[in-house]
Chain A
Amino acid sequence: MSSDVKELINKYMPDSQMSRFGKIFTDTTEFMNIDYSDVIQIENGHFLVLKNEQERRFGLVDPKYWVKRCKHLESGKYQLLKLAFYETFPMHIGPFEIKCYRSPRKEARILDLVKGDMRFMQGYSKNDIEGNNVRVLDIIRGKRLDVVVHDIPVDHKTYFHEYFPDIFEKFIGACEAIRFLHSHDEKHGDVRRDHLWVESGTGAYRWIDFDYAFELYENPFGLDIFGLESILVYLVGKANLTMQTLLELGIENSILNTLNSGDYSAVIGNRVVNVKKIYNYIPNPLNNILMHLSSSSSVFYESVDEMLVDMNKSLKEIRSL
């Protein structure tokens, strides 16, 4: 009833200028019908819906109807509500298509596991009256790590010597966070650049979105490790180094001509992972970590632990430069 919503708004937001009052939803099954000015009631908490979240990828805006930006009326806190949406979709990594499942219960379980661990987004889950899992998430104020790195307004050499060591150290912390999940038999499931955020104010690196699940048997943590390595390649290169971006960056032909198939990623064939060939001041130990991802490598990292050993050694060397 809209009068119920009006009462709630009057009680908790007496200064509000809202003129539209929606309905109270205790059942979130039909989440497409829940929109601005509705209230989602979970147990005794009331969440005023402000909008559907959106994802911007490849220049397109994709509304995520199952993720609502809300205001928790009792506390006045802005939060995200992720509603149960059992989606199956293909995830593309290089030439591979992986059947991916959205799993509310996986994310709910991980939220419990990482409670109080600020390397991860924070929140909790409750069921609505129909038993649908609803995750109540704190909003992280900040920017994606790759955007932060991309926007640093210096040339690569300055970036590498003045900014990268601190970024690398914090990224190692983010890898330790993923190792923590693996040690509890959990996978992040979607380790990619836009799921690692830098929080404003604290500068902390924080992982978001844990609801992806898929079937991986012999190498259950392989996709997470691939994701971490790909992010590291980006951080070292300060860009996704494809032939196109290298040309845009004005890299000399004499360098580009030295690139061969073994310098590119084994999985995403147009990305250069042998960054030392582009920027010759990259130390060998660091470049060797990146080369584990190359098509010329016969040795892959099998655990985050293995990566961490090499990264910590490399950081020590970089710090002493």
Chain B
Amino acid sequence: MTLDKILVAFDGSENSFKAVEYVANIMKHYPIDLILILYVERLPDKDLFRDDETWLSQCKKNEVEMTEKLSSAKENLIKQGVSTDVITVQYFASCKSPFHDTDICTTGRSIGMDILRIREEGNFDTVVIGRRGVSKAEEFLFGSVSTKVVQAAADCTVWVVN
């Protein structure tokens, strides 16, 4: 297995920042072609809002917050000594996004599968993901992105950061 292109799955949580830090610690002295910090958008469900206006405002707020977190994650990598030239940040928008008009988007059915699709298309050899540590019952009811990635990943290495 090679270690040339790493995809870090990022959702703005403490655990995903830990995953970024872990990658930084390992990769700061290692020649690498590309580190992608990927956020797959979790658009708030329209049905949770009274009207489109309130929903739009929440979507905007979320996107601004997440964009700031992505920048912060990139800064963390640079601070640790990873070259800025190899870092890319991607905000992978929802197909239902009111602000992004693109055919390449997430349907929201499975973030885990979206991550793996982007990994495959970008030929990333390694996926890094943080883990919340959910119980069996929680996994059953609510699902787990890290479990889905570990179960469904093929032809790549997966690092799960606790």
User: Which of A's residues lie within 8 Å of B, judged by CB?
Assistant: 86, 93-96, 101, 103, 105-106, 185, 213-220, 222-223, 226, 266-267, 293, 295, 298, 300
Evaluate contact between A103 and B48: CB separation under 8 angstroms: yes
Evaluate contact between B110 and A222: CB separation under 8 angstroms: no
Given contacts A217-B111, A218-B111, contact A101 B140 (CB under 8 A): no
B136 to chain A: closest CB distance in Å?
Answer: 5
Known pairs A217-B108, A219-B142, A222-B143 / 8 extra A-B pairs, C-beta < 8 Å: A96-B137, A213-B47, A214-B45, A217-B142, A226-B140, A266-B137, A300-B139, A300-B140
Evaluate contact between A106 and B47: CB separation under 8 angstroms: yes
Evaluate contact between A219 and B108: CB separation under 8 angstroms: no
B48 partner residues in chain A, CB cutoff 8 A = 101, 103, 213-215
Across chains A and B, which 9 residue pairs bring their CB atoms closest together, nearest first?
A219-B143, A218-B143, A213-B47, A103-B47, A106-B47, A267-B137, A101-B48, A266-B137, A300-B140
Evaluate contact between A295 and B112: CB separation under 8 angstroms: no
A218 partner residues in chain B, CB cutoff 8 A = 110-112, 142-145, 148
Bits for B128-148, please: 1 = Cβ < 8 Å to A, else 0: 000000001111111111001
Most buried by B among A213, A218, A219, A222: A218
Q: Which of B46, B50, B140, B143 contacts A217 (CB 8 A)?
A: B143
Given contacts A226-B141, A267-B141, A300-B140, contact A220 B108 (CB under 8 A): yes
B122 partner residues in chain A, CB cutoff 8 A = none
Count of inter-chain pairs, beta carbons less than 8 A: 64
Is B61 positioned at the interface, with any CB of A under 8 Å from its CB? no
B45 to chain A: closest CB distance in Å?
Answer: 6
Q: Which of A103, A216, A266 contacts B140 (CB 8 A)?
A: A266
Residue of B nearest to A293 (CB): B140
Q: Can you report 19 residue pairs joining A to B where beta carbons are below 8 Å apart?
A: A103-B47, A105-B47, A185-B107, A214-B48, A215-B44, A216-B142, A217-B108, A218-B110, A218-B112, A218-B142, A218-B143, A218-B145, A222-B141, A226-B140, A226-B141, A266-B136, A266-B137, A267-B137, A293-B140
A216 partner residues in chain B, CB cutoff 8 A = 142-143
- A298 to B140: give the CA distance in the assembly, Å: 10
- A86 to B51: give the CA distance in the assembly, Å: 11
Evaluate contact between A215 and B45: CB separation under 8 angstroms: yes
B141 partner residues in chain A, CB cutoff 8 A = 93, 96, 219, 222-223, 226, 267
A266 partner residues in chain B, CB cutoff 8 A = 136-137, 140
Is B42 positioned at the interface, with any CB of A under 8 Å from its CB? yes
B145 partner residues in chain A, CB cutoff 8 A = 217-218
B110 partner residues in chain A, CB cutoff 8 A = 218
B12 to chain A: closest CB distance in Å?
Answer: 13
Evaluate contact between A101 and B142: CB separation under 8 angstroms: no
B140 partner residues in chain A, CB cutoff 8 A = 222, 226, 266-267, 293, 300
A137 to chain B: closest CB distance in Å?
Answer: 18
B117 to chain A: closest CB distance in Å?
Answer: 15
Evaluate contact between A217 and B47: CB separation under 8 angstroms: no
- A75 to B140: give the CA distance in the assembly, Å: 47
Q: Which residues, 22 to 47 on B, are CB-close (under 8 Å) to A?
A: 42, 44-47
